[in-house]
Amino acid sequence: MANDIFATLRTYLSKITDGDTSANEVAASVNQWVREGGEALKIKIEDEVERSVSKMGFVKRGEFEALKEEVARLKVTSATKPATRKSSPSKTSKSEIGKTKKSPAKKSTVKKVSK
C-alpha cells in the first residue's frame, strides 16, 4: 500500500513538472483519493469490530434498547390480560405411586405419676 501512495505521488509530480496539470488539480485529486481511502478503511474497521464483538456475544446498544422496550411492552400486555387458564392439580406419575413418604408416628411420652 505504501508503494501505491508513492507511485501515485510520483505520477502527480511528473504531471506537474511536465505542465499537464496544475498544483490545484493535483491537490484536489490527492484529497479525493485520501478521502476515498479513508472511507474504505473506516468500513473495513467497522466490519471487523462488529464481527469480533458478535463473536464475544455482545450486542449493539440500539438492539439492546429495542429488546428492552419489547420486553416491557410484553409485560404490560400480559399484565392487562385476565388470567384465563385455571391451574390444574399436579399429576402424580406412575413411578411416584406407592413411593410416598410417610412421616414416622410421633411417640408421646407419658409421665407416670407415683403415689
Residue 59's pLDDT is what? 85
Indicate if the pLDDT at residue 5 is higher than 80.
Answer: no
pTM recorded for the entire structure: 0.42
The percent helix, strand, coil of the chain (3-state, each to 5) is 65, 0, 35
Across 54-73, b (16+ Cβ under 10 Å) vs e yields eeeeeeeeeeeeeeeeeeee
How would residue 69 be classed by pLDDT, with cut points 50, 70 and 90?
A: very high
Indicate if the pLDDT at residue 106 is higher than 90.
Answer: no
Identity of residue 114: S
Better pLDDT: 16 or 90: 16
